[in-house]
A = this chain, B = another copy of it.
Amino acid sequence: MSSDQARKTSEEKTVTGPISDAEGIDFDLIEQLFFAYRDFTSDPDAILEKSGFGRAHHRVVHFVNRQPGMTVADLLDTLRITKQSLARVLKQLVDSGYIHQVVGPKDRRQRRLYPTLKGRELALELARPQSRRIAKALSALDPQGRDMVRTFLQGMTDTD
Contact = CB atoms under 8 A, between A and B. Distances in A.
Given A12-B116, A34-B59, A112-B5, A20 B127 contact: no
Interface stretch (A46-54, A84-92, A152-160): A152-160
Nearest to A69: B16
A36 interface: yes
Copies of this protein chain in the complex = 2
Contacts of A115: 14-15, 19
B102 A65 contact: no
Contacts of A39: 156-158
B62 A135 contact: no
Nearest to A80: B38
Interface residues of A, number: 82
A82 interface: no
A13 B71 CA distance: 18
Contact of A97 (B12, B24, B154): B12
A120 interface: yes
A33 B157 CA distance: 9
A114 B66 contact: no
A137 B33 CA distance: 13
A26 interface: yes
Contacts of A67: 18
